[in-house]
């Protein structure tokens, strides 16, 4: 297989996306999208209760957000954004996705000391409160965006959620945050069609399984494959009435900025236009970065920013800007911090400069022409 030097890769569509967004700054975008320009535009949710969920030596520990919040405060961006309360999700909100017995099981296991829901997923006293707040924060941001209090937003909470099944926690995840927010948007906010985009390096098996048969919630995932959790094959396209509403992009190791950009341009864009969502939710993991210790993809921070700009453009085109992101993975603390900072900058103003102290990957990128051709054929895109 021929490998392409990153220095020789050009993504023409990225130039077009950037050019399109250059006039879309934070002062005129809300007006174009029908919002009150006197209100704050981008919103975020955070509460230090997430710090209670931690275990020394585990990759998913409280230092992930401690360092991220320190950088955001140093930058000053949070002062320009609207803060949304990170209140705990009610039992009714959690039970819309998780059986009551499972919710009580997580609460009981956490309250009794250090325990594990699976070999990778710990709970400690405070984990239930942190996980409930993580789910609740995302619901609150979703409500703010869907009701016009903000035109987009991001929940900066942990633990993450996209691996959690309805009745089982796994992969560092206790509750299925994005699925909970999507179900809330369906049932409480009256949104008919939702698109979930998962750019975490690990397949969001929990999110996929919860909506696999539901044509009202479409799921698009880019992920390393085969890799943890072992799901996300190209042939998995949904079940029952939901066939065709799941689009998995199973990348081999070594895919970088050009490959991810092509997947978003050639697969996600026509898929999203087919779905025509009322809301876009994103499981935003930053562990596909070339320096992340838990995976082997080769995105740069600039590459992540390019994905964020594409998703903002799709939300503006298809659903009046309604876009909500939830933090998932990312285990290089500085990469995570700069990735979140860049995402918030792009949500606020897609033309803002980004911060990338790491630069491009220092290796050759793997081409994915055959994979893209197969997926286009499979999904008739």
Q: Are 71 and 338 in contact (CB under 8 A)?
A: yes
Token pair recorded at residue 135: 């789910």
Give 96's contacts (C-beta < 8 A, 6+ positions apart). 180, 183, 184, 187
Q: Integer distance in angstroms from the first to the last C-alpha of the chain?
A: 25
Name the pairing type of β-strands 121-123 and 152-155: unpaired
* CA 234 and chain centroid, separation: 20
CA distances for 227 relative to 61, 106, 251, 261, angstroms: 22, 26, 10, 21
For residue 60, the 8-state DSSP code is S
Closest by CA position to 305, among listed 362, 348, 241: 348
CA distances for 302 relative to 163, 261, 342, 354, angstroms: 26, 11, 9, 7
**Rounded Cα distance, 65 and 62, in Å:** 6
**Catalytic amino acids?**
163
Give 250's contacts (C-beta < 8 A, 6+ positions apart). 203, 223, 224, 225, 226, 232, 233, 234, 371
Give 127's contacts (C-beta < 8 A, 6+ positions apart). 52, 53, 106, 110, 159, 174
**Rounded Cα distance, 343 and 327, in Å:** 11
For residue 268, the 8-state DSSP code is I
**Reduced to 3 states, what is the DSSP secondary structure of residue 213?**
coil
**Reduced to 3 states, what is the DSSP secondary structure of residue 349?**
coil
Name the pairing type of β-strands 115-118 and 121-123: antiparallel
Q: Are 266 and 376 in contact (CB under 8 A)?
A: yes
**Rounded Cα distance, 256 and 295, in Å:** 12
């Amino acid at each position: 297989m021929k490998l392409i030097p990153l220095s020789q890769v050009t993504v023409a569509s990225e130039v077009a996306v950037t050019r399109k967004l250059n006039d879309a700054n934070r002062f005129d975008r809300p007006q174009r999208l029908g919002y009150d320009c006197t209100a704050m535009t981008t919103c975020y949710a955070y509460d230090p209760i997430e710090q209670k969920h931690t275990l020394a030596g585990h990759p998913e520990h409280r230092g992930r957000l401690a360092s991220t919040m320190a950088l955001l405060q140093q930058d000053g961006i949070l002062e320009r954004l609207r803060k949304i309360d990170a209140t705990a999700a009610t039992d009714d909100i959690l039970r819309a996705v998780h059986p009551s017995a499972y919710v009580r099981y997580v609460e009981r296991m956490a309250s009794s000391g250090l325990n594990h829901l699976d070999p990778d997923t710990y709970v400690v006293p405070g984990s239930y409160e942190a996980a409930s707040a993580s789910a609740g924060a995302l619901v609150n941001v979703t409500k703010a965006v869907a009701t016009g209090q903000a035109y987009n937003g991001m929940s900066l909470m942990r633990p993450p959620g996209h691996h959690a099944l309805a009745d089982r926690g796994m992969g560092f995840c206790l509750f299925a945050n994005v699925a909970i927010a999507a179900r809330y948007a369906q049932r409480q906010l009256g949104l008919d069609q939702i698109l979930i985009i998962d750019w975490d390096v690990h397949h969001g098996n929990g999110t996929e399984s919860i909506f696999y048969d539901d044509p009202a919630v479409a799921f698009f995932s880019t992920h390393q494959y085969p890799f943890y959790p072992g799901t996300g094959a190209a042939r998995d396209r949904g079940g029952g009435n939901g066939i065709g509403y799941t689009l998995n992009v199973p990348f081999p190791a070594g895919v970088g900025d050009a490959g991810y950009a092509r997947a978003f341009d050639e697969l996600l864009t026509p898929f999203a236009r087919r779905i025509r969502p009322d809301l876009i939710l994103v499981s935003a993991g930053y562990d596909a970065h070339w320096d992340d210790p838990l995976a082997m993809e080769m995105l740069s921070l600039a590459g992540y920013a390019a994905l964020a700009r594409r998703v903002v453009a799709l939300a503006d085109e298809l659903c009046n800007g309604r876009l909500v992101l939830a933090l998932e993975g990312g285990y290089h603390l500085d990469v995570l911090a700069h990735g979140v900072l860049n995402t918030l900058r792009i949500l606020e103003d897609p033309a803002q400069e980004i911060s990338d102290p790491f630069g491009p990957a220092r290796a050759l990128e793997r081409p994915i022409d055959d994979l893209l051709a197969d997926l286009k054929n499979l999904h008739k895109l």
